[in-house]
Amino acid sequence: MKKQKWQNSTFIYIGFIVVLAMIPFINDSRSLLFLIMQIFIFGIFAMSYDLLLGFTGIVSFGHAMYFGVGAYSVAVMMDSNEATVMYLILGLSAAVVIASVVSFVAGILTLRLKSHFYAMLTLALAGLFLVAAEKWRSVTAGSDGFIIMIPDILRDHSTMYLLCLSVLALLFFGLRRLTQSPLGKVLIAIRENEQRTESLGYKVVHYKVIASVISGIVASIAGGLYVLTLRFVDTSVFATDVTLDALLMTIIGGVGTLVGPIIGAALIEIAHHWLSDLSDVHWIFERWIILFGTIYILAVIFFPKGIVGTLAEKLGKRRKQRKKEAEQSKKIAS
């Protein structure tokens, strides 16, 4: 029965992906495609964040560093060599390697301690990366940033769009499989009751480090895609704002789910886009972050489980009620 359900949801997701894949053939508007690509990229990034926050229960304040590592690895590789697909792949591989080393080190240093140590260390490390990117001008060009060339094949924004979509789909199904695997179930158990997981004979630290590394790798891929769509990189990819965006998207969308962060990313990117456009109407819209702060507070108070979590709860209740009614009517009939 469970298997059946699993397949059903897969079909729904595949349906969504097909619809999304058709968009560039229907509407070729550059700004629309760009907006959706940003949603995809931040969706990937927020998913990787949720693997830590929502599934394992680890708070990270420095997730931007993996994003930035991904962004700079790709950008520098393409800039110092030719802008070909081969160097793009090399750049992405470098991103994955560096991100996994950094996340592994951050993990083994602090994950055996209480969670806030990880939060603090990642915050410090991300700060370090930001400063390094600003000072190491020969490579990063500091806060001025630099423009990069991208492979010819990706110059067409429909192709780029499809690339982002397929990476998102791949990572989504991959991460979903991961969270439903035996290892994923242990991660959830750690979130629920760390001490009990330990006493069942699981080595909790190993699992947390694994989660940290996978999350770092996925985040670095998001960073790599980000510079490809912008064709420009500067130190803002390491900024704390990037981490906060991921946190916001995850919480608004729904902690502990994979669809939630994507929906959260969509909402925030769209809101960002529209609110910035409204800055002609009133100056407050230029400071849209103020509005977001308010929304954030309201969301935490009234929808602590996020959009997906709240919806799932409502649906679950209704299903239960229906079941109860069915049972009652059966009783009456018998």
The binding site for other proteins (CB under 8 A) comprises 2-3, 6, 177-178, 181-183, 185-186, 188-189, 192-193, 195-203, 206, 210
Please identify, using beta-carbon distances, which residue of 158 and 181 lies nearer to other proteins.
181
DSSP three-state, residue 62 = coil
What whole-number distance in Å separates Cα of residue 156 and Cα of residue 224?
18
Please identify, using beta-carbon distances, which residue of 193 and 328 lies nearer to other proteins.
193
Nearest approach, Cβ of 178 to other proteins (angstroms)? 6
What whole-number distance in Å separates Cα of residue 9 and Cα of residue 269?
25
**Can you state the percent helix, strand and coil of the chain, rounding each to 5?**
85, 0, 15
Nearest approach, Cβ of 189 to other proteins (angstroms)? 5
Please identify, using beta-carbon distances, which residue of 140 and 208 lies nearer to other proteins.
208
Please identify, using beta-carbon distances, which residue of 140 and 250 lies nearer to other proteins.
250
Nearest approach, Cβ of 181 to other proteins (angstroms)? 5
Nearest approach, Cβ of 255 to other proteins (angstroms)? 12
Residue 49 CB: number of other CB atoms within 10 A?
29
Please identify, using beta-carbon distances, which residue of 185 and 318 lies nearer to other proteins.
185
What whole-number distance in Å separates Cα of residue 81 and Cα of residue 276?
36
Nearest approach, Cβ of 301 to other proteins (angstroms)? 21
b or e along 163-179 (b: 16 or more beta carbons within 10 Å of the residue's beta carbon)?
A: bbbebbbebbeebbebb
Please identify, using beta-carbon distances, which residue of 211 and 266 lies nearer to other proteins.
211
The token pair at 161 is: 């769009």
Please identify, using beta-carbon distances, which residue of 15 and 174 lies nearer to other proteins.
174
What whole-number distance in Å separates Cα of residue 102 and Cα of residue 66?
8
> Do residues 49 and 250 lie in contact, with contact meaning Cβ atoms separated by under 8 Å?
yes
Q: What is the dihedral of CA 236, 238, 240, 245, to 10 degrees?
A: 80
Of 96, 262, 258, 56, which Cα lies nearest the Cα of 173? 258
The token pair at 109 is: 């240093």
Nearest approach, Cβ of 261 to other proteins (angstroms)? 20
Q: Hunting for tokens 């179930």 — which residue is that?
A: 185
Nearest approach, Cβ of 186 to other proteins (angstroms)? 7
